[in-house]
Amino acid sequence: MQTKMENKEVVTEGARSKPYDIQVNERFFIAMDRLEQLGKIKNMFNFCAVHDLTYSNYHRMMKHNTRTPSFYVLNLLAEKYGVSAEWLLTGKGEWLAKK
């Protein structure tokens, strides 16, 4: 689906491959791996089931590295699992937020 923006830029919904998006995607999966190693989550399949997410979307996201997890999921990592939102979005600071 395409939508016209006021500045005449055409945005294609769902097509994301900007370097910023790829970096956020990479940090998301790094955080998921680390949370699994720490025993805070069982695995990606279980994480998706617990939070009512579609596993196939995240599997595809991991495999193709062209989409960014939703704000809801990034916020979930920050609020429930203590992952630094700043680190997820910018790569700055420690990956776990200080309490």
Per-residue pLDDT reduced to its tens digit, 64-85: 877 889 999 999 999 999 999 9
Q: Does residue 25 have a pLDDT over 70?
A: yes
Q: Is residue 28 within 8 Å of residue 74, measured between CB atoms?
A: yes
Reported pTM: 0.79
Does a structural domain hold residue 44? Answer: yes
Phi, psi of 90 (to 5 degrees): -120, -20
Q: Which two tokens stand for residue 87?
A: 């680190």
Could you list the residue range(s) of the whole structural domain that residue 25 is in? 20-81
Does a structural domain hold residue 90? Answer: no
Does a structural domain hold residue 64? Answer: yes
Does a structural domain hold residue 29? Answer: yes
Share of the chain above pLDDT 90, in %: 67
Does a structural domain hold residue 58? Answer: yes
pLDDT of residue 8: 41
CB-count burial class (<10 Å; 0-12, 13-18, 19+) for 13: exposed
Does a structural domain hold residue 65? Answer: yes
Does a structural domain hold residue 98? Answer: no
Does a structural domain hold residue 73? Answer: yes
Domain count along the chain: 1
